Amino acid sequence: EVQLVESGGGLVQPGGSLRLSCAASGFTFSNFWMSWVRQAPGKGLEWVANIKQDGSETYYVDSVKGRFTISRDNAKDSLFLQMNSLRAEDTAVYYCARDPVSGHDYGDYLLKWGQGTLVTVSS
Amino acid sequence: DIQMTQSPSTLSASVGDRVTITCRASQSISSWLAWYQQKPGKAPKLLIYMASSLESGVPSRFTGSGSGTEFTLTISSLHPDDFASYYCHQYNSYPYTFGQGTKLEIK
Tens of pLDDT, residue by residue over B5-20, are 999 999 999 999 999 9
A118 to chain B, any CB pair closer than 8 A? The answer is no
For residue B98, list chain A residues with Cβ-Cβ distance below 8 A: 37, 44-47
Q: Mention every residue, 6+ apart, whose C-beta is less than 8 A from residue A10.
A: A18, A118, A119, A120
- Per the CB < 8 A criterion, the answer to whether B40 and B30 are in contact is no
* Distance (Å) from the alpha carbon of B18 to chain A's nearest alpha carbon: 24
Residue B95 has a pLDDT of 97
- Total number of residues shown for chain B: 107
Element (DSSP H or E) covering residue A113? strand A112-113
Residue B44 has a pLDDT of 98
User: Does B95 contact A115 at a Cβ distance shorter than 8 Å?
Assistant: no
Residue B51 has a pLDDT of 98
Mean pLDDT (whole number) for A6-25: 98
Residue A107 has a pLDDT of 86
Residue A102 has a pLDDT of 87
- Per the CB < 8 A criterion, the answer to whether A95 and A39 are in contact is yes
B103 to chain A, any CB pair closer than 8 A? The answer is no
Residue B76 has a pLDDT of 97
Q: Which residue of B has its CA nearest to A43?
A: B100
Residue B100 has a pLDDT of 98
Residue A113 has a pLDDT of 98
Residue A104 has a pLDDT of 87
Mean pLDDT (whole number) for A18-29: 98
Dist. CA B19–CA B76, nearest whole Å:
7
B58 to chain A, any CB pair closer than 8 A? The answer is no
CA distances from A94 to A62, B1, B37, B42, B80 (A): 17, 21, 17, 12, 28
For residue A114, list chain B residues with Cβ-Cβ distance below 8 A: 43
Residue A63 has a pLDDT of 98
The answer to whether residue A103 scores a pLDDT higher than 90 is: no
For residue B55, list chain A residues with Cβ-Cβ distance below 8 A: 111
By DSSP bridging, strand A18-25 and strand A3-7 are antiparallel
pLDDT category, A106, cuts 50, 70, 90? Answer: confident
- Per the CB < 8 A criterion, the answer to whether B87 and A44 are in contact is yes
Give the closest residue to B67 by CA, choosing from B103, B37, B104, B25: B25
A100 to chain B, any CB pair closer than 8 A? The answer is yes
pLDDT in tens, B76-85: 999 999 999 9
Half-sphere exposure of A100 toward its Cβ, with a 13 Å CA cutoff? Answer: 14
pLDDT in tens, B39-76: 999 999 999 999 999 999 999 999 999 999 999 999 99
pLDDT category, A27, cuts 50, 70, 90? Answer: very high
Which amino acid is residue A79, in one-letter code?
Answer: L
Q: Which of A45, A111, A113 sits opposite B98 (nearest CB)?
A: A45
Phi, psi of B28 (to 5 degrees): -65, 135
Handedness of CA A114, A120, B1, B6 (dihedral sign): positive
Q: Mention every residue, 6+ apart, whose C-beta is less than 8 A from residue A42.
A: none
